[in-house]
DNA sequence: ATAGCACGCTTTTGAC
DNA sequence: GTCAAAAGCGTGCTAT
């Protein structure tokens, strides 16, 4: 006979486990529904849910993991001829040099052939942006450029300079600032199905 | 009564379907096993199976799909400040400009501020590579550089130039040419677990 | 320019979505961990987690769904000769008769050939259980039988009688009542790998 | 330098692995397509594909595995009161008795209360089937009964007798023998969605 | 202690 | 769009 207050019987314990798990599964399902709802809302606003999923995955990775993953991908892609014009990233280079040696980035004494720390003069107007030494300045300038309606290709910073990316970030962020409808650039084209194998 | 030679009975037809499916499933399982074996072999040679899976996924995508996917990722990353120094790619720029306007690449008359079609002189030696106008030349030079033992950071082509990527490809491909053991750069570090959240 | 208090910018809205989803994912992961912990606990007590998972799946199905599913399975199995000694269930019979006609169960006027509503006299002792008309009585008797140490094969109710199952239930439930260690009957044998194909 | 005829370079080996895997994936996809086609064909003939999938799963299990799995399920179900009128199977009983003792099936000297080896007289006609001692005879009689148009509930064998299942098998198999359209009993009702939770 | 193995969970892919 | 099946992945044993 079962003693009241004691879940001593095997069947009672089994039932207890199962009911507890069922309750937790119920909660889990509720959360999953909320996630779906949020994604549906984002989709309704024009965002691309697959991209969002990918970004969440990347954000979950630590910076070190992400760098390692990208470096490895780059190296393997290079071996297969899949770089497609994208130059090898810094981390990949560091790996190719033996992991310990400093990557000799753009500040390398050997020449810094392309990237300079100085802003680029606009060859048309001859006007030079003031020496925005910080990355944050570059970001603000990118936002300003977007507000002014200049083209995104007018980014004054050289490839490889972090301020170039910051300027791009500011530009992109600003380009949707006014709460208007999502620009078409953020939307996926529906029919980019089969355009030519990659092999 | 079942007529011999005629699979007329319902039960016979059912059995026939099931046995046919089972045979196909058997074949499918054999192929899956072969795939696993191949991956295990690659892993045994030091390759990273996760990276291989990712590359296979990318190769299955058409070039157009891949470009669109990368462009959207870049734009969303820019809006979140996740560019991490990587400049916006050409396709992303094209999207931000309205899809129709030409992206004004390095040949843009407005300035081509960094990328030039001319090879970069090595500032140390003053020696200038002959004007390797083709991408294939650049790749061959990259292979030669790897054979000569020069560092990968000596890539003479500017950022944004496709020949820069080609040089990298040649360098990486050559760096493992002699059939020796896989260089450590191709291997994943085991303990890059938690090095600092990205959030 | 972003208006304070208004998440009007596209980038802000995107970030808001992503952070909300990340928070929900975090909660979901916590629940999943609790579920794993509960299953580990059950496993530690000797229960078979795979069986528990299967039971949870069955409990999630409605009774009608389960009946229809089992009936169809029985009919198909019969056609393939896979009944393995298990007689066709009531729902399957009902289906074979045209869905509307009453299944003519054990109470069928045609003869009720085997199952009767009367308890079975123990042929050894001649003693007859009092007419336990309710299913609950049968369950209690099963528990009592387990406590008395009689074998489970002494179930006095005929096949097809719901009280037979109830007696079994009571017996099984009671057999673990005293909070002792789980009997070995509840545990899976480790090496029932390949004993002979079913085909 | 790459030696011709030797896939010695790392990049070549990588490419070889990837191409081999891609080829195998291609074959796998073809087989999967054939399976889908076969299932579609079966579906077109009126069979229920989900049931077919389940049967294939069961046939893939060895007899021993299936018996152990079903026995454990029965015991756990009994403890939870989920037997739903189905009596405990032989294997489950064997387990409850300690695994070594013989299950004391219907031939148990203690009483064999319901199942007998003798055929059951039809109470209406008083006619008794000749003592069909073999299971195959029972199956043939089931087929004959289906041909004669008698109801499936006229199965003369008692519950628990393997010949009862064999009779059912013969009946079900015969009921579709003439290659006619699949009887409705084999089809799933479309709207047995939610009829009442099992919890 | 470490390496191989098997289990269960998650995610992605395909079917309906 | 919803759903289930399958494959990849991490993890925990186990056996050496």
Tell me the C-alpha to C-alpha distance, in Å, between residue D116 and each of A107, D125, D142, D158, D160: 95, 20, 19, 7, 9
pLDDT of residue B181: 74
CB A175 within 8 A of CB B79: no
**Which pLDDT does position A138 carry in this prediction?**
94
Cα–Cα distance measured from residue B1 to residue B4, given in angstroms and rounded to the nearest whole number:
9
Greatest mean pLDDT range, A103-107, A157-161, D124-128, D130-134: A157-161
Q: Do B172 and A81 touch (CB under 8 A)?
A: no
The residues pairing with C121 across neighbouring beta strands, listed in sequence order, are: C128
Beta bridge partners of B128: B121
What the block records as the tokens of B57 is 């996924």
In this structure, the number of other CB atoms found within 10 A of the CB of residue B169 comes to 25
| Lowest pLDDT segment from A51-60, A160-169, B138-147, C104-113 | C104-113
Q: What SS3 class is residue B128?
A: strand
Angle at the Cα of C19 from the Cα atoms of C18 and C22, rounded to 5 degrees: 85
Q: Are A168 and B88 in contact (CB under 8 A)?
A: yes
Q: Looking at residue D122, what DSSP letter applies?
A: P
Distance from CA of D19 to the nearest CA of A (A): 10
Measured in whole angstroms, how far is the alpha carbon of residue B197 from the centre of its chain? 26
Separation between Cα atoms, residue A168 and residue B81, nearest integer Å: 9
Which secondary structure element, helix H or strand E, spans residue B14, and what is its range?
helix B10-44
Closest-CA residue to A119 (of A154, A89, A170, A169)? A154
* C55 CB neighbours strand E below 7 A: no
CA–CA gap between residue D90 and residue B14 (Å, rounded): 29
Positions of chain B with pLDDT under 70 = 1-8, 99-132, 178-180, 190-199
Q: What is the pLDDT of residues A42-95, one digit of tens each?
A: 988 889 999 999 999 988 887 878 888 888 999 999 988 888 778 888 888 888
Spatial distance between the Cα atoms of B81 and A60, rounded to a whole number of angstroms: 15
CA-based Rg of chain A, rounded to a whole angstrom?
26
* The pLDDT of residue A25 is above 80: yes
From first to last of the 199 residues of chain D, give the pLDDT tens digit.
444 445 457 888 899 999 999 999 999 999 999 999 999 888 888 888 888 888 888 888 777 777 888 888 888 889 888 887 788 888 888 888 865 544 444 444 343 344 444 444 555 555 555 555 799 999 999 999 999 989 888 999 987 788 999 999 999 888 866 665 777 777 776 654 433 333 3
Q: Please, what's the largest Cα pairwise distance for chain B?
A: 96
D80 to A11: CB separation less than 8 angstroms, yes or no: yes
What is the distance between the alpha carbons of residues C117 and A151, in angstroms, rounded to a whole number? Answer: 89
Q: Phi and psi dihedrals of C128, rounded to 5? A: -115, 130
Query: How far apart are the C-alpha atoms of D98 and A109, rounded to whole Å?
Result: 81
Question: Residues 4 to 23 of D: which have CB under 8 A from any A CB?
Answer: 10-11, 14-15, 18, 22
Q: Report how far residue D94's alpha carbon sits from residue D108's, in angstroms, rounded to the nearest whole number.
A: 13
Alpha carbons B15 and B7: distance in angstroms, whole number: 10
Length A13 CA → F10 C1' (Å): 29
Lowest mean pLDDT among A149-153, A183-187, C52-56, D29-33: A183-187
CB A182 within 8 A of CB A46: yes
**What tokens appear for D21 in the block?**
């895997």
**Does C24 contact chain A (CB < 8 Å)?**
yes
In chain A, residues with a C-beta closer than 8 Å to the C-beta of C32 are: 28
Look at the block and give the residue holding tokens 């046939």: D59
Model confidence pLDDT, tens digit, residues C3-32: 454 545 788 889 999 999 999 999 999 999
Rounded CA gap, C34 and C38, in Å? 6
Query: pTM, whole model, 2 decimals?
Result: 0.78
In this structure, is the dihedral angle defined by the CA atoms of residues A156, A160, A166 and A171, taken in order, positive or negative? Answer: positive
A175 contacts in C (CB within 8 Å)?
10
Nucleotide lying nearest to B56, CA to C1' measure: F8
In this structure, the number of other CB atoms found within 10 A of the CB of residue C120 comes to 17
pLDDT on residue D180: 59
pLDDT at C110 over 50: no
Coil/strand/helix, residue B121: strand
Return d(Cα C160, Cα C86) in angstroms, integer.
11
Burial of B8 (0-12, 13-18, 19+ CB in 10 A): middle
Please give the helix or strand (H or E) that residue A145 lies within, else none. Answer: helix A135-148
A95 contacts on D by Cβ (under 8 Å): none
In order of A54, B88, B113, B156, the CA distances from B104 in angstroms are: 29, 13, 12, 23
Question: Which residues in chain B have Cβ-Cβ distances shorter than 8 Å to D35?
Answer: 21, 24-25, 28
Residue A39 pLDDT: 92
Structure tokens belonging to residue D61: 């299990």
CA B49 to chain CA centroid, nearest Å: 14
DSSP E strand boundaries for chain D: none
List all nucleotides in chain E with at least one atom under 7 A from a protein Cβ: 7-10, 12-16
Chain C neighbors (3+ CB pairs < 8 Å): A, B, D
Cβ within 8 Å, pair D97-C152: yes
* Measured distance CA(B87)–CA(B115) in Å, rounded: 14
What tokens appear for A60 in the block? 């979950």
């Amino acid at each position: 006979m079962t003693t009241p207050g004691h879940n001593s019987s095997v069947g009672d314990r089994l039932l207890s486990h199962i009911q507890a798990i069922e309750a937790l599964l119920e909660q889990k399902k509720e959360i999953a529904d909320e996630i779906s709802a949020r994604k549906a809302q984002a989709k309704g606003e024009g965002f691309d849910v697959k991209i969002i999923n990918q970004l969440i995955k990347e954000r979950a990775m630590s910076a070190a993991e992400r760098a390692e993953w990208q470096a490895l991908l780059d190296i393997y892609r290079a071996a297969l001829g899949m770089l497609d014009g994208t130059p090898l990233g810094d981390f990949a280079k560091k790996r190719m040099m033996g992991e310990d040696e400093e990557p000799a980035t753009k500040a390398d004494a050997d020449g810094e052939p392309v990237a300079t720390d100085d802003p680029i003069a606009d060859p048309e107007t001859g006007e030079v942006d003031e020496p925005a030494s910080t990355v944050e300045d570059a970001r603000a300038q990118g936002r300003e450029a977007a507000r002014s309606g200049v083209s995104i290709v007018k980014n004054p910073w050289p490839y490889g300079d972090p301020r170039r990316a910051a300027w791009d970030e500011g530009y992109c962020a600003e380009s949707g600032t006014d709460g208007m409808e999502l620009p078409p650039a953020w939307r996926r084209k529906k029919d980019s199905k089969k355009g030519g194998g990659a092999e």
